[in-house]
Amino acid sequence: MSRLRGAAFTPVVVSREAVGDVVVLELAPLEGRRLPGWRPGAHLDVVIPPSAVPGGLTRQYSLIGDPAAPTWRIAVLREAESGGGSTWLHGVREGDTLQVGGPHNHFEFRAGPAPVLFLAGGVGITPISAMAHAAAATGRDYAVHYAGRAGNMALVDDLRALHGERLHLYRDGVRLDLPGVLGAAAPGTAVYACGPARLLDEAEAEASRAGLEFHAERFVAVPLRAPVWPEPFEVELQFSGLTLEVPPEKSILEVVEEHGVLVPWSCSEGTCGTCETPVAEGEIDHRDSILTAQERARMDTMFICVSRAACPRLVLEL
């Protein structure tokens, strides 16, 4: 079973709104408590109990809207092949409580004067909504491009009220013209995107052609390629006093847990960021779907559920 990272909270569901296959849940603290603050791009780890899914699950959902609000909001797309977590959350009602961890952030919106383009596909609007709220609050030049299936697009009314003509909707067969939108962007524009893999892959390619800074959050992991270092390698765990061998057929996460070192983890496919581990020494074969090229080049952190060594030995802060 996956393991939460950091403190756990038990907020209560105070409202729910269904929009097609998406349900928006508003969460409030229990009496006498206060929810932790968060920054745009942050997500919650939501525990799906063993009573709903054998063994239980932990799934990540981005926080919506205004970080200064006293409540949290998340949106959940019902997915038939999700393992059962989304179906259980669609059955949650007002007055129910959830067990959550976080907030955590691997998709943080960076402050600055540069203009911003926000791209969202489907339920990918959730982190983008918070970023666009921050851009509006600081007077930054921005536009929001939101594509999805008619009747299944959450938050449209909220977005219209806040962003007006800066919001561009694509539905009912109207396609988001990524080459046109990104090709016309001013030099220095930053692009933040979230949504289906096809949208993100095309957006990243067009942003690269236009020389634009690109940031994305992926819900589906990029396909794993062959390891850079195909042989076994050693990992030294600085704080645990262990040196372990990782064979080609096992992940670092699997090996350290077999030796009693407990690491928070959730997705096991390099998308959620829960198992992020600082690296003290060694070259990393990054295989996650989270870090930017600049972050990878620093060689100071890795996601041990999928990433491996690109050398005979790594030293980890575990």
Segments in the chain below pLDDT 70: 1-4, 6, 81-84
pLDDT at 100: 93
Residue with tokens 């508003």: 26
Architecture field, domain 233-316? Roll (3.10)
Which of these CATH numbers, 2.40.30.10, 3.40.30.10, 3.40.50.620, 1.10.3720.10, describes 8-104?
2.40.30.10
The topology (CATH level 3) of 116-218 is Rossmann fold (3.40.50)
Could you tell me if 251 and 309 are in contact, meaning their C-beta atoms sit under 8 angstroms apart?
A: no
Joined tokens for residue 222: 């990029």
pLDDT at 84: 66
- Domain assignments of the chain as residue spans, ordered by start: 8-104, 116-218, 233-316
225-274 tens-digit pLDDT: 899 999 999 999 999 999 999 999 999 999 999 999 988 887 788 888 88
pLDDT at 4: 66
pLDDT at 1: 56
Q: Which are the contacts of 49, defined by CB distance < 8 A and separation ≥ 6?
A: 56, 88, 99
pLDDT at 2: 62
